[in-house]
Chains A and B, each alone.
Chain A
Amino acid sequence: MSKVLAAGTVAPGFTLRVTPDQYLSLSDLAGRPVVLAFYPADWSPVCGDQMALYNEVLPEFHKHDAEVLGISVDGAWCHEAFVKDRHLHFPLLADFHPKGAVAEMYGAYRKSEGVCERALFVIDRHGVIFWSYCSPIAVNPGADGILDALERLPKEGASDGHAKSSSHAA
């Protein structure tokens, strides 16, 4: 199993394709907690599917003002079909080219197989990793660890001085 970036590390910035014609940067979400969920592949079986679970738990994540981002090495067109088929209501990012580069920065890339680990990161409002966890690749880690971490995040009002950027690199 890879050694994923630990709590206290500044979350490496990235810009990835989120749809075939849009990009999303981590900095776009500055000022809000972010949940990064690296996972091996789209189209895994439905009932035990990690992304389907996060989709259902989304209202709970949003109570903490957190944005959830799924990341795999699948391409943007693949993600688009998967999002549509599973009615996912949060973005999936394509760590497609150069393949796995973002996962590698987070210590969450399985070079031997060319896929992301099942690794979770909760990033605080200041862009620092608050909690991380790498699950055995065949085990869906659930959402309890993420919710526990979000609950432990220091509470901050809207006046924390971190400007929100809405710029999209194109």
Chain B
Amino acid sequence: MGTLKVPVTQHDHIKGPANAPVTLVEYGDYECPGCGAAYPIVNLVVEHFGPRLRFVFRHFPLTQVHPNAEPAAESVEFAGAHGRFWEMHDGIYENQDRLSPPLLFALARALGLSELELRNALASEKYAPKVKSDFLSGVRSGVNGTPSFFINGRQHEGTYALEDLVLAIELQLHAKAAL
């Protein structure tokens, strides 16, 4: 079972308070159907635990089988540079069935971001190093496919069904409370 080799830092995309007792890290691919299926479940988990949970998303695109995964990840990083990471992230997963470059540009425009700037960022691979660094941190932590979850640094071996994730997180909360 893997452990998270690269700790969560301010370079990560984080939802929830820094002092939350549990941190859930997801390694995901925007074109992966499993990640698309996990997306609404993760939202429920985040809502359920509120301030007791900090959620972190890291990129793990399988670029050779998912041709839109890399541009999608770089587009989300582009949006993140403008403070709109989660809006872009949500927009892609909510429209995953029509993921394509036109969708990425349309989502950027809807967020008031410059389509031209996004096109240039993709063409120059401006955010590719960040995506690559996320990917490699996953590989070194034992990520073997997507979605992969880490709960307080330990790889979650169960499924991403709501009850599995909730139970695993509750166990961590109880463990912390017992200290």
Contacts and interface: CB of A to CB of B under 8 A. Distances in A.
Interface of A: 46-50, 52-53, 55-57, 60, 86-89, 139-144, 147
Shortest Cβ-Cβ A-B pairs, 3 listed: A48-B145, A142-B144, A140-B144
A47 B136 contact: no
Interface string B18-44: 000000000001001111000000000
Contacts of A55: 62, 64
Interface in B125-164: 135-136, 139-146
B65 A86 contact: yes
6 contacts: A46-B62, A47-B29, A48-B144, A56-B64, A60-B136, A139-B144
Given A50-B144, A53-B62, 4 more contacts: A52-B62, A53-B139, A55-B64, A147-B140
B172 to A, nearest CB: 23
B65 A46 contact: yes
B64 A52 contact: yes
A53 B146 CA distance: 10
B65 A147 contact: no
Nearest to A48: B145
A147 B139 contact: yes
B63 interface: yes
Contacts of A49: 65, 145
Given A46-B65, A47-B32, A142-B2, A56 B135 contact: yes
Query: Taking each of B2, B35, B62, which has the highest tally of chain A beta carbons within 10 Å of its own beta carbon?
Result: B62
Looking at chain B's contact residues, the main secondary structure is: loop
Interface of B: 2, 5, 29, 32-35, 61-65, 135-136, 139-146
A11 B18 CA distance: 50
A134 to B, nearest CB: 15
Contact of B139 (A47, A48, A88, A144): A144
B33 A143 contact: no
A38 to B, nearest CB: 16
A57 B62 CA distance: 10
B33 to A, nearest CB: 7
A51 to B, nearest CB: 10
Contacts of B64: 52, 55-56, 86-89
A144 B65 contact: no
B34 A144 contact: no
A53 B140 CA distance: 12
A52 B63 CA distance: 9
B33 A144 contact: no
A47 B63 contact: no
Contact of A56 (B5, B32, B62, B142): B62
A53 B136 contact: no
A1 to B, nearest CB: 17
Contacts of B29: 47
Nearest to A56: B62
Given A52-B64, A52-B65, A144 B141 contact: yes
A86 B65 CA distance: 6
Contacts of B141: 144
